[in-house]
Amino acid sequence: MKLQRKNRLRALSLGAVALTGVLTLTACGSDDTSEGASGTGDSSAPAGNIDCGDAKGQLLADGSSAQKNAIDAWVKQYQSTCKDVVINYKGSGSGAGITAFTQGQVAFAGSDSALKPEEVTASKEICSGGQGIDLPMVGGPIAVGYNVPGVENLVLDAKTLALIFDSKITNWNDEAIAALNPDATLPDLKIQAFHRSDESGTTDNFTKYLIAAAPDNWKYEGGKAWEAKGGQSAQGSSGVAQGVKETKGAISYMELSYAKDGISTVDVKTGAAEPVKATVENATKAISEAEIVGTGKDLALKLNYKPTAEGAYPITLVTYEIVCDKGNKADTLPATKSFLTYVASEDGQALLSEAGYAPMPEEIITKVRTTISELS
């Protein structure tokens, strides 16, 4: 069914999501082989109702490191039931994933940004009689993690974040930061701003927020590649998280599931009365204002980076699984459909909250399930 008009998403109801077991995840990424192996979820968690069908063989996938923790948990559960399938998701970043997909190297890709027109065109070369489509599967906040000794509660706004990541504010006791944190004792410490070295949908969404919320202070065009000068770079979400953890004075943007083990997160000042914490629930309030802008079977979303509702966290992303609507390879199609069917199922979506992600709204995930069933 073609979506010719923009549809308002209704608010996610995370309270109604029943977790099927305890999920323990480690921060992992494409460049972290010691912690990032597929299957980091708790093996005691039930797999739920998984239909393996004719799925067998090896399923290669690549892309968003933002969803790597979720993918690992899903793979753990799926492979415990479908023992004839081996899933290898590299998590090299959204840009690398889309490139691998359009070159026919993977069965599906993960991306934190929807396909661009030129990428859709390229996908037609490997999707025989079809094209690549965006299936929103994972939501959540992009946390701004920091490591500033003695500062437990830090408030920043879009303007200050833009100036920090553009190397215009370089010390933690800068008057602009002090004005937002009158009760904090800010140290005379150099700011070490980390950004992604790889092409990343997380970068794309973070800079879209800066463009939308601080247009006078962030003059870059945005996109998956980092454009501002200065700062330090690291590969993948795990890389920037590790940089923040190990570096006093560091700050970076990362998915909430990576902001742990000594990494504090910024409360973001918006148009609401109170600064907003980076939580799944608060991201949900902002994602609920997204609009479907894809057509046909494509379910690309437009996010609202300037919410004014109380508690709506403004820096959010949605990760898409990218797959051919038609023309998928015959040897990988059964496993692709089987795995994505599980991921989009109630059981699959239920694993997300514990890992710091937000399940998709029922209105959207229902359309995703229908589309997956029609893949050919």
Give the model confidence (pLDDT) of 118-177 as tens digits.
999 999 999 999 999 999 999 989 999 999 999 999 999 999 999 999 999 999 999 999
Q: Is the pLDDT of residue 43 over 70?
A: no
Task: State the number of CA atoms in the 13 A half-sphere of 12 facing the CB.
Answer: 29
Q: Is the pLDDT of residue 48 over 90?
A: no
The closest alpha carbon to 277, from 121, 154, 164, belongs to 154
At 128 the three-state DSSP class reads coil
Look at 2-11, 223-232, 318-327 and tell me which has the smallest mean pLDDT: 2-11
Q: Is the pLDDT of residue 34 over 80?
A: no
Q: What is the mean pLDDT of the chain?
A: 87
The CA distance from 351 to 121, in Å, is 34
Average pLDDT of 86-102? 95
Average pLDDT of 72-81? 95
- Quote the pLDDT of residue 288: 81
If you count them, how many residues does the chain have? 376
Q: Is the pLDDT of residue 39 over 60?
A: no
Q: Is the pLDDT of residue 3 over 90?
A: no
Is the CB of residue 108 less than 8 Å from the CB of residue 61?
yes
pLDDT tens for 235-252 read 998 999 999 999 999 999
The closest alpha carbon to 323, from 303, 298, 347, belongs to 298
37 or 222: which carries more pLDDT confidence? 222
